[in-house]
Structure 1
Amino acid sequence: MPVPQPSPLHHLPVGALEGMDEATWLDVIHKMDEVYSKLVTDEIELEEKNAQLEQSQQFIFSLLSAMSDVLIACNQNGMIEETNAALCELVGLSEQALRGTPVLGLLADEQSVQRWQLAMYQSASHDAAVVEINLRSASGEVVAVDFNCTPRHNSAGRQVGRVLVGRPLGELKRAYQQLRQAHEALKNAQAQLLHSEKMASLGRLVAGVAHELNNPISFVLGNVHVLQRYGARLSRYLQALHQLDLPAPVQALRAELRIDHLVGDLPSLMAGTLEGAQRTTDIVNGLKRFATAAHEDVTQVELNAVVERAMLWVKKGTSPRFEMVWTRGPDCFVTGNAGQLLQVVMNLIQNASDAASTDDATAPQLRISLQQDGGQVRLRFADNGPGIAPEHLSRVFDPFFTTKSVGKGTGLGLSISYGLVEQHGGQLSAANLPQGGAVFTLTLPMPKA
């Protein structure tokens, strides 16, 4: 800021000019001091306004540089007056090279020229216009840009040009595609969560039904055991009675009612009833273990029995064409939760059935093998389906990931199985077979001797 200097008139002696008295001279000096002081004040204000103007220009420049959208400001004749870094990067020219050149020079084809001319006409009579034009990029490629063309006015309200702000449609399409994919994923996740909740409710229902079935099954087992004892007594009584000399009508009634045949059939009938009731009890207990797997204690589990039970249960709900090839091996015990291991094996068998059944021309097949290797046991589930797409191999165990349609898969089976296997200290992996099809390998540690 300049420091005010004394007026040069202060160095002149009073009365140096002829015809002027001292009062007049002092008044002139006073007026000159006021004018000089005003000039200094105006200069200070001008410098402050210049500083503010520079700050505003720097702010506007930073905004233009930070914009990811393409910006073009042109006059009424379509000559470029201002641009931003996004446009310079897109067309491969500097701001200095673009200023004063026509917008038409950036267009890539005649169709874009016509659209630009129509937008210029529309923006002259309306507030704004939207135009899609093709620009020539720095690499020579054609880039479609969706521009919003807005008229630009001066301080008097007169239109002096136009401002175009737009974004390459490739970015917009990618953003829309990502948004659409996210929306579809959200809808699928919602449907899968609803289905998962239904399955959880079904699990609670199964647990309750299994518990209620225990009572009538217990009645059947208890009554059949009593009937066996009663039958043995009746058989002894009838044998003793038939040794007597019975009247002819009684002998005829004995033959008509086939009493001897009925007595002979009673033991097998009751044995069959006991076997059916016992099988029902095993199924109910298995349902209870499956529905309340999280609350089961860790025990020694025989894997052959787990595989066979899972095959039995899944077979009831799969296609009759689905073939499971399994050869029972030597007893193989692991430490774990029987219900959880059953859930894992059932999921793997069901997934193999779904995958192998997609091709109607080939009979679906699953080969299950068990191999003990040192301190580990490996269960392999190899199907003859189409296999797993390479881009999906790294995601098959992700929660909610599924290639099935909504309602046919929750995307949680393999994810839950993966977590359960990890809780048992094992590993679950997926791969494709060279001859086609997928193979899932379940590895579990065996208890130390």
Structure 2
Amino acid sequence: MAEAARFNDTEHDADHSDDAVWLEVVRKMDEVYQDLLRYEVELETKNAELESLRQFFASVLDSISDVLIVCDLEWRIEAVNAALSRLVGQAQETLIGASFFSLLADTDRERFCGGTGMPVVERHDCECSVITADGTTTPVSFNCTVRRDLSGRVSGVVITGRPVGELRRAYEALREAHEALQRTQGQLVHSEKMASLGRLVAGVAHELNNPISFVLGNVLALKRYAERFQRFFAACAAEGACAPAIQTLREQLKIDRALADLPRLIAGLEEGAQRSREIVDALKRFSAVDGGEMHEVELVEVIRRGVHWVTSSVRGAFRVDLALPESMRVWGNSGQLQQVVMNLVQNAADATADLPEGRLSITAREENGGWRVDFIDNGPGIRPEHLPHLFEPFFTTKPVGQGTGLGLAISYGLVEKMGGKLSAANNHDGGAIFTLWLPAITS
């Protein structure tokens, strides 16, 4: 009985061991199944990410406006973007496998790379004609770079290109716009000159009145003398006239004094005519439309002349004090510089118009290889919020109808074109200070 019991125990242990093995196998299978499920989920996630990246890069490539071509070592097309498809009028699938050189005009195939069969080479800014969808050709600037695989070996080329026809048209439009801007700028400069000239008419009339008065006065005197000379010489030529009668008539007509006065009258006529011509020439130089030719200019003369013109037309008490050296030679345009000086002096006169006595101090000194000229007035100064906009076109603080807003803007441009600088600030003692700097001529 004992032996039977031991046999039954042994059989029971064997059954129990088999069950444990099967449970372990089931457990392992479950783990493997779970791993497979996890790997499948991860694989699907990776595939989704890869598809998203593929779509992203495809959309980026198709959004690029430049042409993109990928070729193998035999110059066969492996990939293109939508820009090339639109340019040549062929579907992207149709272009795959075609030769890159089939896209080029016959005259440019040899020039790009020597034709088919040549080794892969790099090219930069190589302009070739590409056959477009309508059968015509358009110039395209190509860049060609070598493409390598993961091991570093050359596996093909990447070609990018940009149609230059649109760029040329854009450059042409830009050139035309620039020329139109230059013409407009010249017209604005001339308009501002005419506006300044109109403000000076009263002063010019006063300046011309003096020499004209000299001429008219002397002409009237000469007219009276001519009548006396005619009577005297007629009496001398009269038949039977005696010497005492001629002498008496000579004394009555004051012939000797008239003869002595003739040189002075003629000199006065000459001086008045010369002065009138100088005034007219100065006006012609100022109002003339010039090309901005640069030449040597004596800045002291320009400043004195500009101050004289403005102060001759300003009403009220306005005094200009000059502290200038004997000579300031600069390289520029005398007419344009005079316009700048007149604008600065006129602005000072306008700024101090409401004061009992307006004053402008003009001083000059050498600085940084050039001449610095300060225009300092005793006006109310410039408001801080206006300082950044002072040289902008059409910006003005004057009432409507009293200022165009172009004077300072044009002056700034003219000075800058001559290699100089024009700036504005508030003087620490009150009033505004405009600083003009121009490179000096030292030789």
TM bucket (normalised to shorter chain) is 0.3 to 0.5
Q: TM-score, normalised by structure 1?
A: 0.45
Q: TM-score, normalised by structure 2?
A: 0.46
